[in-house]
A and B are shown apart, each in its own frame.
Chain A
Amino acid sequence: MTDAMIWLVALPLAAALATLLLPRSATAVAIGSGLATTVAAGLLLFGVATQGALHYEIGGWSAGLGIALRADGLSALLLMMTALVALAASVYASAYFSAVSERARFWPLWLLLWTSLNALLLSGDLFNLYVTLELLGLSAVALASLGGKHAAVAAALRYLLVGLLGSMLFLAGVGLIYAGYGTLDLATLASVVEPGPVAWTALALMTTGLLLKTALFPLHFWLPPTHASAPAPVSAVLSALVVKAAFYLVLRLWLDVFADVVTPAAANLLGLLGAGAVLWGSWRALRVERLKLLAAWSTVAQLGYLFLFFPLLLAMPPGPARDLAAGGLVMLALTHGFAKAGLFLAIGIIQQRCGHDMIRELDGTAQRLPATTFAIALAGVALIGLPPSGAFLGKWQLLAGAVATGQWVWLVVTATGSLLAAAYIFRVLGHAFGHRPYPNQPVTVAREEWPALLLAAMAALVLGLAGAPVWGLLEIGT
């Protein structure tokens, strides 16, 4: 099973090179390697579930100078989500891009992105994390600027500069850590780090850099234009996976490595910013005219929910209550990943069929594309947090944690945010009811509509109904 970790990084990387060298069979190579990578992710998840946390040292060189790959419950779950979302988006992209030249530029960058995501989730030391973070940022920027439209290029450039800024801050933090503790290995650091000016400064630098990349309010300004101007499959992966990777790093740093250093006051700050994200993001999503902008602002809001968990987690002593809340956090992150990807893919279909994605003019569209509308409805249910989606379970834990620790303000924020989300989702769905009769077949372009439907169904149904093992898996810690 440890081999699965190698395959997860090597397969997409090799496929990226292959698609570069063989542009004519690029699609087949990409989908094929995508399937194989998904199988590897499944094997890894199975391996972690049965054998516990997995560990692999590349080349046999031990920690210190060597690169170690680590997989525990959290990373295995996120890897699975990455694989499924990327696979679905790949199938979608194979139909979305019609011109060969577009495809030739798309697949290598796409597979490089996938490689960097997998490598980031498997990294066991800060050096590797920095490298994969950079790779992720560069390939994401390149993908976002595909198509060459002015808005997309401008937004991608802003994304690049912001990302670079964040990376530099992160690197400075890494340097400080090395100066203070002499090691970059995450597991070693977790046992060695102590509260002090070195640790605080390093954590502050690294967190700020990561918050820039995960678009937490008020550092979110770059996200809506970027995600709204990128091609649909790229937006899906940017919103669902790329920002999640940065969030995953914040989670790892705060809960694992710097667990002894973080204070409730700092956690409250994160929670406050998260609350701002939820309220401001939902409010803006309600006001915008374009579907893609709505989805992008929704991402800003949904990421805010994830940060609301921090003050709760830090107010609870380690134990079953805290594990329950942490599981809720992961469930919310997973559900959002699937739901947002499905939403962006569905919006992409609408954009292609009608040439626009203006919400006011959706009336006939929803009638002509029942499968797409259904995908939007399912994704919407998951984004609002209604049962039976996984997000319902996540929000339950958020509310329960707020009540249990007496921090009622987060409960009010969550409730308000959910109602605002319902407002902007049903604003879109209200257009699905019109006078025109449905066409005879519900599904028009299978390769585009099925991925959207399946992703949305995953979020709205599968994770909610069959999600109980998530909590068990998360207990398998590094």
Chain B
Amino acid sequence: MNWDAWLPVLVVASSLLPGLVIFFLREGSHRLRTLLNLAGAILKLVLVGILIWGVFHEHVYETRWTLAPGLDVVLHADTLSVLFVTLSTVLWLVTTVYAIGYLENAPHRSRFFGFFSLCVSATVGLALAGNLFTFVIFYELLTLATYPLVAHRGTPEAVRGARIYLTYTLGGGMLLLIGTVWLYVLAGPTAFVEGGILDSLPAEYHPQLKMIFLLLIMGLGVKAALVPLHGWLPQAMVAPAPVSALLHAVAVVKAGAFGIVRVVYDVYGVNFADQLGLLTGLGIAAAITIVYGSLMALFQDNLKKRLAYSTVSQVSYIALGTAILGPIGTIGGVVHLVHQGIMKITLFFTAGNYAETLGIHKVSEMNGVGRRMPATTLAFSVAALGMIGVPPVAGFVSKWYLGLGALEAGMAAWVMPVLIASSVLNAAYFLPVLYRAWFREPGPVWPAEHIPAARLETSAALLWPPVVTATLALAAGLFAAAPYSPLEWATLIAHREYGL
């Protein structure tokens, strides 16, 4: 049995098959559903571990299936895909545990976990996509799988939020598709190759290539929440907390950012993109998004909305890193894919905990919550400090590399002010929250205390995930120099991209 060809498919199937079975389970079969979910997640983890080891040793894992003449679906594991797949797998496991706790006694759990698993399968397929055609397919499948999750609660606001989400993402998907088709007509099947493949095309195609780049980035930018295509993200906050966590840390937003990285590095090639003058435009869009997102976050009282705008801002660090020419900038952008994921998911987990345990939805209701829920608030604090860029949490590492990369590329003049302004703004909208949580006196009664204080401040399934991810965020920063750390892996990616 040729394992090398089957491994990528198995990674996708390990969540797809349990998901399909879960759809047909009765609402009451908790044990079986939990078993399927966790079994799939652990199996996926094991398979991804094998992938990591193999790719590090330059093994080739590739699955190829022909859909039509000249159009192959290719699943291929390279360094960048392994980074994203690992992030998705680890965070899926954590989010599954969290979701089981969060949705206790909620209706339609089979439908929820079914689509949840489909969503992860689509994300993993997208991560493993070996050419632009496959990427587009999984990109659209991701939209289809996440729509029912956003609409899950069934309230008019949920359905409306889901409709807005769909409008943006299907529109973006169409732009992405048109750009991809155009590129295929010009350049044939565009496989993802480190260093890009388009620099060999004759110069008369360059204006078309610029247009294609614009289309691709716009299409990807919808999911990656680049301003002004970010409008769906705050609206999608109507989804249950596990969905927001998954969407904002792992699946949808990262898929867009990951796509941008792929297009710049493995389709165009960073040097060629710079030659065409495309990196400057991308950098400016990223910079605007970073500042805008942070500014809007400042004015939000609703905690999840504040975190949503924070996501808008933070994900563009990845795009910014992509726009900075040079390996150090690349490392900063790519490693932030992982770091932002871990930190943001922690924040959403804790926001969900506040809502589920105490009925807290607004920042103004968070006075003194640190005393009632210390572990949760500690996790929140670690993640928030990471977002601001305080060492030794992981966020500091990303910002450091971004700044250093900008200096090296001679772009420090405008990148540094953006980074500094963003950190200041992050501090401005996170530090007051921390102050409130730890140092203010709580009100006489919480808005809606669903889970009374017992041995643990909230249910175990809700408590452990944010603690775990906060620890990971701390570890990613502290042990950044260790082998197999996200930073080391990002360095490997950068070296292979630049041919060092």
Contact = CB atoms under 8 A, between A and B. Distances in A.
A468 B66 contact: yes
Interface string A462-474: 0011011001000
Contact of B107 (A328, A393, A396, A435): A435
Given A393-B71, A415-B174, A387 B184 contact: no
A468 B184 contact: no
A399 B148 contact: no
Interface stretch (B78-86, B157-165, B408-416, B462-470): B157-165
Given A433-B154, A438-B27, A468-B66, A426 B166 contact: yes
A386 interface: yes
Contacts of B171: 419
A400 interface: yes
A415 B219 CA distance: 13
Contacts of A465: 65, 67
A404 interface: yes
Given A467-B67, A471-B69, A437 B108 contact: yes
A327 interface: yes
A422 interface: yes
A381 interface: yes
Contact of A435 (B140, B154, B166): B154
B319 to A, nearest CB: 25
Nearest to B137: A387
B154 to A, nearest CB: 4
Contact of B137 (A320, A328, A388, A426): A388
A4 B162 CA distance: 50
A422 B163 CA distance: 11
Nearest to A323: B69
B144 A386 contact: yes
Given A403-B181, A435-B107, A468 B170 contact: no
Interface residues of A, number: 36
A98 interface: no
A438 B108 contact: yes
B140 A433 contact: no
Interface in B147-192: 147-148, 151-155, 158-159, 162-163, 166, 170-171, 174, 177-178, 181-182, 184-185
A415 B166 CA distance: 15
B163 to A, nearest CB: 6
Given A324-B70, A387-B141, A437-B107, A422 B154 contact: no
Contacts of B24: 442
B67 A393 contact: yes
A324 B178 contact: no
A207 B83 CA distance: 57
A331 B152 CA distance: 34
Contacts of A404: 185
Contacts of A433: 148, 151-154, 158-159, 162
Contacts of B147: 426
Contacts of B71: 393, 396
Interface in A130-174: none
B111 interface: yes
A324 B69 contact: yes
Contacts of A400: 181, 184-185
B26 interface: yes
Given A396-B71, A400-B184, A400-B185, A419 B178 contact: no
Given A400-B181, A467-B68, A388 B154 contact: no
A468 to B, nearest CB: 5
A39 interface: no
Contacts of B141: 386-388
Nearest to B70: A324
Interface of A: 320, 324, 327-328, 331, 381, 386-388, 392-393, 396-397, 399-400, 403-404, 411, 415, 418-419, 422, 426, 430, 433-435, 437-438, 440, 442, 464-465, 467-468, 471
Interface of B: 24, 26-27, 65-71, 107-108, 110-111, 136-137, 140-141, 144, 147-148, 151-155, 158-159, 162-163, 166, 170-171, 174, 177-178, 181-182, 184-185
4 closest A-B pairs (Cβ-Cβ)? Answer: A387-B137, A399-B181, A433-B154, A433-B151
